[in-house]
Structures are given as structure tokens and as C-alpha cells.
């Protein structure tokens, strides 16, 4: 296979089948239509028969092309690509057997093309076609895959694990800043596509090379191994066991046990200082706060944890989403499946489903810091740097006693602005909000003392001096409460300390 894929890579270069060139070829309207699974606008603007048009028609729009056009775009390669399972041929026509598209990324990507190429299974449901896929279907670049890629801490490290690699998209990103990536999956087709994608992007594979592709379930293929970074977008759909399983989304474990298992096991595979990042669904049980339940999975791991619940779905919305994803909407047993799923949720005591991010850091603290919060507002992406900074702030604060905190010289982060609300013409605002423009884009209500403090924190005065000056203006300042508040302001990134990580 390797020479065929290497030659394919050269043909993709030669045709300039790159993200920017394809975007320019089809334009934003056709691209938006494709985002809605509609190919007609794209087909209308790719009729010229040039190699880039042909490749776009075959792999992005998944239309058949003539044998002559295919040969012109892929000289001497069509037979080999058919043999490799990348294309298929019918009488005088050629069509795709996989989706293969350029993927524009920030910073990562091939030096010559400036992008990555990613092959995955064909896109289901194009132009209203069948949505149903086989049990071993390999997802392409889904919104979840992109979210995890944007959340990932991108500091250069030695070893990373991409658990449940699918088409290998996370591993392709990791290969840019990690010396050795282990990519695992239980789906042989996923492992094959990961191999194809590594080769297409010129990344060597194998136990001694940049990406080591391994077959096996969860942590079995990496027993006893440690990593600096573990990322996973696991098969996290919470559904009743029906005997049917789409491996890209169903783990085969009951409820959200797959996520619990991964959260409880990651700490055993992290090197000191290492980071684990998981994208997941979790069940919200009747009578139990979601954050208490998830914290229970983390208390014994010894890792600092930062969990952000981004979305809560009511049960009918959740069931509809995943039944439609499986192409079951409108089928004769749709009602029965829907009803069975809701009954099962009832039996399990589930009242809603949460979605979000779980970040773990092996900080080696005697008492780990567990921060579980709901934040549904838009954040600045990519958020990897902010994830890293969060754990650094936690470590700094942990090492800093109150005396040291008072002697520190905090600085208001440069992107924080103040918003005031109140009656028009009133002397004093009714409410003051400090708002970040970057990172998590947090907003936090502040009283006049906290707002004044934020205003004077310019990195020159010590915290003790600032609090004393404000105390003179407003009377007494409750030192203990203000120190706790400053810790929160630092933890959330409103105030920065020039203190090294403890
Ligand atoms: C949602 S897909 C994620 C694919 C890719 N990492 C991404 O970010 O798009 C989940 C992947 O986990 C794999 N998987 C399912 N069960 C697994 C298991 N027990 N161990 C390892 N991987 C598994 C599936 O085959 C699938 O490729």
C-alpha cells in the first residue's frame, strides 16, 4: 500500500487539492451547502474536468467521474487505488470508496501543502441519501473531533496516547508537537484508515516511529505505559443495549460507564505533570448533582481536574439526535426504539444528559484540586493554551500561602473589561461585571471593592498595598474574604501572578 499512498500524495500536490485551493474553487456558498450535506452547488462549479475539479467531485462531493478525467487527475494510479479500497470502478466510471478531503488546520499540517489530508468512510446522507452506516463505520472530521483538537494542550511533549483514534485525526495533530504518538482502536477499518492518513501526510508509522498504531480495547494495548498527554473522544453515546452497536459511538458498556472507566484509568497512565483530555457525555441522575457524581470518579485519581459542562440535553432531544444519526428517523420501528430508549432512561433514573470537557493533570498534589463548572457561553478557540494555563494557575495558588499572596504583585489580564449596569443618569452602577475577551470569556460580578482592586492591579503594587489603599477609601476590608476572592480571580484568569509554578 505504501507506494500507492505515496504516489497518491504526489498526485494530490500536483492537482493542488489543498484546503485553500478547494475552498477557492467551490466558494463559500457551495461549501456551506456541503456542510448541510448538499452537493448540487459544488457540482455546478466543478464541471471543467481539471484535476482539482475531478478530485473534488470524487472525494468531497462523492460523485462519479469519467475514467478519462480520473486518469488525468490520478495518472497511472486508478487501478492501484481501486485495489487499495480508496476508489471503485464501474463501466467507464470511477467513484470514491472513502471520503478524502483536505483539512485546514491552525499551525499543524504538511509543510508543502499547509494542510492535512484526511480519509474516512463516505459521508452518509448526502443529498438526502441513506443515513444508515455499517457497524464499523469510521467517522470523518466531526464537530466533536474538531472540538477535542481545539481543546488539546499543544505544548511539545515526548509521548501521547490517542485512545479510539478513528480515522486518526487527533494523531495527525499530535504528530506536530509530540515525539511519539500511540493511536489505538478496536475497529480494524479505523486502524487501516489511520495508517493511510499518516502516510498521506508523510508521517512515518510503526513502534519506533512518530505514530504507533495499535489494535485493542481501551488501555489494554498500553498496559504499564505512561504518557505526557492522553486525548480521547470515546464512543460515549448513552443508550440501552439493543445488541446493535455502531462502534464509533457505542462502547458496549452500560450508561456512561465508558467515561467513568476512562476518567478513573487515565491517572494510572500519566507521567508526572501529564495531561488527560476527554470529550464526553454523562448521565445526570435524578436527585444527584451532576458535578458531585463526576467528582466521585476523580477523588481517588490524584489528578487535578477541570470539568466544564457545556450543554445539557433533555432526554427526547438526546434520543432524537442519536436515532437520526443512525439513520433510523422515519423507519417503521422508530417509535418503538424512541419509546424503549426513554423507558430505559426512566429505569436508570436519568433525567438529562450532560456534554462537556474533562481535563486531568497529574500534578502530584496531596489534595487534588477538582473544579467542575457549567459554562455554556462561547469561548475563544483553540482553548488548549487556556487549559494548560488553568492547571498552572492551580499549581501556583496551591504553593502560595496567604502571606506570599499578599506580597505578590497581581496584574489584571490585558483583555479584561468592566461593564456597568444601572439606571440612566444614576451616580452609582447597580451592577458591575468583569468580563474576559479571550480564553473562556468568563464574566464575573464584582462589588465596588473587587472592581477597585481589579482596577489597581497593574503589577506594581503588592496585593497588601492595594488592599490597604482601598481600605482607606471604603473603611474596613474583610481580609480573609478578599484573599479568597483574589484566589478565585487568579484561578479564573482575571488576575495574573508573576510567581513561578509551585
Ligand atoms: C467518536 S469516535 C472518535 C474518533 C476520533 N478519535 C475523533 O476524534 O474523531 C470513537 C472511536 O473509538 C473507537 N472505539 C470504540 N470502542 C473502543 C474501545 N473499547 N477501545 C478503543 N477504541 C474504541 C471507535 O472505533 C471510534 O474510532
Q: Which atom of ligand 1 is nearest to the CA of 190?
A: 27
Q: Kindly report the number of other CB atoms within 10 A of residue 364's CB atom.
A: 12
Angstrom distance (rounded) from CA 454 to CA 412: 6
* Same domain? 418 vs 448: yes
Among 47, 76, 102, the domain boundary falls at 102
Say if residue 375 is in the same domain as residue 435. no
H or E element that contains 272: strand 270-285
Please tell me the distance between residue 162's alpha carbon and the centre of ligand 1 in angstroms.
9
For 332, the grid coordinates are 417503521
| Tens digit of each residue's pLDDT (9 = 90 or more) over 383-423 | 999 999 999 999 999 999 999 999 999 999 999 999 999 99
Same domain flag for 383 and 463 = no
3-state secondary structure at position 135: coil
Q: Pocket of ligand 1, candidates 145, 146, 185, 325: which has the most ligand atoms within 8 Å of its Cβ, to mutate?
A: 185
CATH of the domain at 449: 3.90.930.60
Residue 329 is assigned to a structural domain of this protein: no
Of 106, 109, 116, 146, residue with least CA distance to 17: 116
Ligand 1 centroid, distance to 256 Cα (angstroms): 15
Q: Is residue 54 part of a domain?
A: yes
Query: Does one domain contain both 301 and 176?
Result: yes
Pocket test for ligand 1, best of 103, 164, 213, 254 (most atoms within 8 A of CB): 164
Q: Kindly give the distance from the C-alpha atom of residue 275 to the centroid of ligand 1, in angstroms, as a whole number.
A: 19
Q: Cβ(218) to ligand 1 under 6 A? A: yes
Pairing of strands 443-446, 431-436: antiparallel
What pLDDT score was predicted for residue 502? Answer: 42
pLDDT of 499: 58
Neighbours of 368 (CB within 10 A): 21
Contact 353, 284 (CB under 8 A): yes
Query: Residue 235: CB within 6 Å of ligand 1?
Result: yes
* Residue 425: predicted pLDDT: 85
The reply to whether 351 falls in a domain is: no
- Written as one string, the DSSP assignment of 345-414 is HHHHTEEEEEEEEEEEE----SS--EEEEE--S---S--HHHHHHHHHHHHHHHH--HHHHHHS--EE-T
Say whether both 386 and 407 belong to one domain.
no
Q: Is the CB of 164 under 6 A from ligand 1?
A: yes
Q: What are phi and psi of 117, to 5 degrees?
A: -110, 135
Rounded distance from Cα 491 to ligand 1 centre (Å): 33
User: Does residue 265 line the site of ligand 1, with CB under 6 A?
Assistant: no
Q: Is residue 200 part of a domain?
A: yes
Task: Give the residue numbers spanning the domain of 470.
Answer: 400-496
* Centre of ligand 1 from the C-alpha of residue 499, in Å: 40
| Beta carbons within 8 Å of 74's beta carbon, 6+ residues apart | 8, 11, 55, 81
Pair (373, 441) in one structural domain: no
Set of cell numbers at residue 493: 484568569
285: left (phi over 0), alpha (psi -120 to 50) or beta: beta
Ligand 1 atom with minimal separation from the 136 CA: 25
**Could you tell me which residues come within 8 angstroms of residue 261 by beta carbon, excluding any fewer than 6 positions away?**
218, 253
Which DSSP letter does residue 499 get?
Answer: P
User: Which ligand 1 atom sits closest to the C-alpha of 235?
Assistant: 10
Indicate which CATH number applies to the domain containing 251.
3.40.50.150
Q: Which atom of ligand 1 is nearest to the CA of 232?
A: 6
- Residue 234 Cβ inside 6 Å of ligand 1? The answer reads yes
Please name the residue that has the C-alpha cell 463516505.
Answer: 122
Q: Is 162 helix (H, G, I), strand (E, B) or coil?
A: strand
Q: Are 193 and 167 contacting, i.e. CB atoms less than 8 angstroms apart? A: yes
Answer yes or no: is 111 within a domain. no
Transcribe 81-138 into DSSP letters.
HHHTTSEEEETTEEEESSEEEEE--SS-S-TTTSSEEEEESPPTTGGG------TT--
The answer as to whether 386 is a domain residue is yes
Q: Which grid cell is 161?
A: 496516547
Which of 374, 397, 420 lies at the terminal end of a domain, its last residue?
397
Dihedral sign computed on CA atoms, order 401, 402, 407, 411: positive
- Using the mean position of ligand 1's atoms as its centre, give its distance from the Cα of residue 366 in Å: 33
Ligand 1 centre from 81 Cα, in Å?
Answer: 26
Whole-number pLDDT of residue 60:
98
The three cell numbers of residue 228 are 505526557
Which atom of ligand 1 is found nearest the CA of 187?
Answer: 25
pLDDT of residue 477: 85
DSSP state of 125: T
Pairing of strands 350-361, 270-285: antiparallel
201 with 64, same domain: the answer is no
Residue nearest to atom 24 of ligand 1 (CA): 248
Given a cut of 50, the residues of the chain with pLDDT beneath it are: 500-502
Ligand 1 neighbourhood includes 142 CB (under 6 angstroms) = yes
The residue contributing the CA closest to ligand 1 atom 4 is 166
Task: Name the nearest CA neighbour of 247 among 139, 173, 341, 143.
Answer: 139
CA of 154 to the centre of ligand 1 (A): 21
Q: Are 374 and 418 in the same domain? A: no
Ligand 1 mean position, distance from CA 184 (Å):
8
Q: What is the pLDDT of residue 475?
A: 86
Q: Say what the pLDDT of residue 501 is.
A: 44
Whether residue 406 sits in one domain with residue 389: no
Q: β-strands 411-412, 370-374: how paired? A: unpaired
β-pairing verdict for 99-103 and 116-120: antiparallel
Joined grid coordinates for residue 152: 488539546
CA distances from 301 to 153, 311, 351, 365, 475 (A): 20, 25, 27, 11, 45
Please report, for residues 50, 123, 288, the alpha-carbon distance to residue 74 in angstroms, rounded to integers and kept in the order given.
11, 22, 58
pLDDT of residue 243: 77
Instruction: State in Å: Cα 248 to ligand 1 middle.
Output: 5
Last residue of a domain, one of 71, 102, 133: 102
- Fill in the DSSP letter of residue 267: G
Residue nearest to atom 19 of ligand 1 (CA): 217
Separation of CA 413 and ligand 1 centre (Å): 38
Q: Are residues 392 and 425 in the same domain?
A: no
> How far from chain centre, in Å, is Cα 366?
29
Count of structural domains, the chain: 3
- Asked whether residue 342 is domain-assigned, the answer is no
166 CB near ligand 1 (under 6 Å): yes
Same domain, yes or no: 80 and 158 = no
- Cα–Cα distance between 244 and 160 in angstroms, integer? 32
CA of 186 to the centre of ligand 1 (A): 7
Asked whether residue 257 falls in the same domain as residue 271, the answer is yes
User: Is 32 part of any domain?
Assistant: yes
* Cα 156 to Cα 320: distance, rounded to the nearest angstrom: 41
Ligand 1 centroid, distance to 252 Cα (angstroms): 12
pLDDT given at position 498: 78
Q: What is the reported pLDDT for 33?
A: 98
Hey, which of 221, 235, 261, 326 would you mutate to test ligand 1's pocket, going by the most ligand atoms within 8 Å of its Cβ? 235
Q: Residue 234 CA: which ligand 1 atom is closest?
A: 10
Amino acid at each position: 500500500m505504501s507506494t500507492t499512498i505515496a504516489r497518491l500524495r504526489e498526485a494530490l500536490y500536483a492537482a493542488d487539492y489543498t484546503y485553500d485551493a478547494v475552498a477557492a474553487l467551490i466558494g463559500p456558498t457551495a461549501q456551506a451547502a456541503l456542510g448541510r450535506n448538499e452537493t448540487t452547488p459544488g457540482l455546478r462549479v466543478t464541471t471543467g474536468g481539471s484535476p482539482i475539479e475531478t478530485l473534488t467531485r470524487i472525494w468531497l462531493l462523492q460523485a462519479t467521474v469519467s475514467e478519462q478525467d480520473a486518469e488525468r487527475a490520478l495518472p497511472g494510479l486508478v487501478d492501484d487505488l481501486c485495489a487499495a479500497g480508496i476508489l471503485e470502478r464501474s463501466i467507464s466510471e470511477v467513484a470514491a470508496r472513502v471520503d478524502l478531503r483536505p483539512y485546514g488546520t491552525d499551525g499543524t499540517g504538511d509543510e508543502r501543502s499547509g494542510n492535512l489530508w484526511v480519509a474516512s468512510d463516505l459521508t452518509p446522507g448526502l443529498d438526502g441519501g441513506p443515513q444508515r452506516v455499517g457497524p464499523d463505520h469510521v467517522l470523518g472530521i466531526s464537530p466533536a473531533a474538531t472540538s477535542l483538537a481545539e481543546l488539546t494542550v499543544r505544548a511539545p511533549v515526548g509521548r501521547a496516547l490517542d485512545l479510539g483514534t478513528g480515522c486518526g485525526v487527533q494523531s495527525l495533530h499530535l504528530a506536530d508537537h509530540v515525539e511519539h504518538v500511540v493511536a489505538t482502536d478496536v475497529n480494524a477499518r479505523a486502524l487501516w484508515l489511520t495508517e493511510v492518513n499518516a502516510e498521506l501526510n508523510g508521517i512515518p508509522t510503526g513502534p519506533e516511529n512518530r505514530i504507533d498504531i495499535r489494535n485493542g480495547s481501551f488501555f489494554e494495548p498500553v498496559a504499564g505505559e505512561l504518557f505526557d498527554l492522553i486525548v480521547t473522544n470515546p464512543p460515549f453515546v448513552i443508550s440501552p443495549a439493543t445488541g446493535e452497536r455502531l462502534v464509533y459511538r457505542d462502547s458496549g458498556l452500560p450508561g456512561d460507564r465508558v467515561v467513568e472507566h476512562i476518567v478513573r484509568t487515565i491517572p494510572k497512565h500519566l507521567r508526572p505533570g501529564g495531561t488527560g483530555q476527554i470529550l464526553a457525555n454523562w448521565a445526570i441522575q435524578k436527585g444527584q448533582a451532576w458535578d458531585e457524581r463526576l467528582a466521585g470518579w476523580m477523588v481517588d485519581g490524584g489528578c487535578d481536574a477541570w470539568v466544564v459542562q457545556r450543554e445539557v440535553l433533555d432526554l427526547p432531544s438526546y434520543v432524537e439526535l442519536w436515532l437520526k444519526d443512525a439513520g433510523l428517523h422515519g423507519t417503521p420501528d422508530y417509535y418503538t426504539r424512541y419509546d424503549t430508549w426513554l423507558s430505559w432512561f426512566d429505569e436508570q433514573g436519568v433525567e438529562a444528559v450532560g456534554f462537556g470537557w474533562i481535563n486531568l493533570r497529574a500534578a502530584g498534589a496531596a489534595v487534588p484540586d477538582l473544579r467542575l463548572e457549567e459554562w455554556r457561553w462561547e469561548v475563544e478557540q483553540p482553548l488548549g493554551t487556556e487549559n494548560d494555563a488553568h492547571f498552572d494557575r492551580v499549581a501556583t495558588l496551591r504553593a502560595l500561602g496567604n502571606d506570599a499572596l499578599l506580597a505578590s504583585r497581581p496584574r489584571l489580564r490585558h483583555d479584561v473589561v468592566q461593564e456597568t449596569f444601572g439606571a440612566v443618569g444614576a451616580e452609582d452602577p447597580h451592577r458591575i461585571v468583569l468580563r474576559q475577551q479571550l480564553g473562556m470569556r468568563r464574566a464575573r460580578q464584582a462589588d465596588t471593592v473587587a472592581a477597585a482592586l481589579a482596577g489597581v492591579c497593574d503589577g506594581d503594587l503588592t496585593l497588601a498595598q492595594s488592599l490597604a489603599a482601598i481600605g482607606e477609601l471604603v473603611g474596613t476590608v474583610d481580609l480573609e474574604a478578599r484573599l479568597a476572592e483574589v484566589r478565585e480571580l487568579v484561578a479564573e484568569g482575571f488576575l495574573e501572578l508573576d510567581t513561578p509554578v509551585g
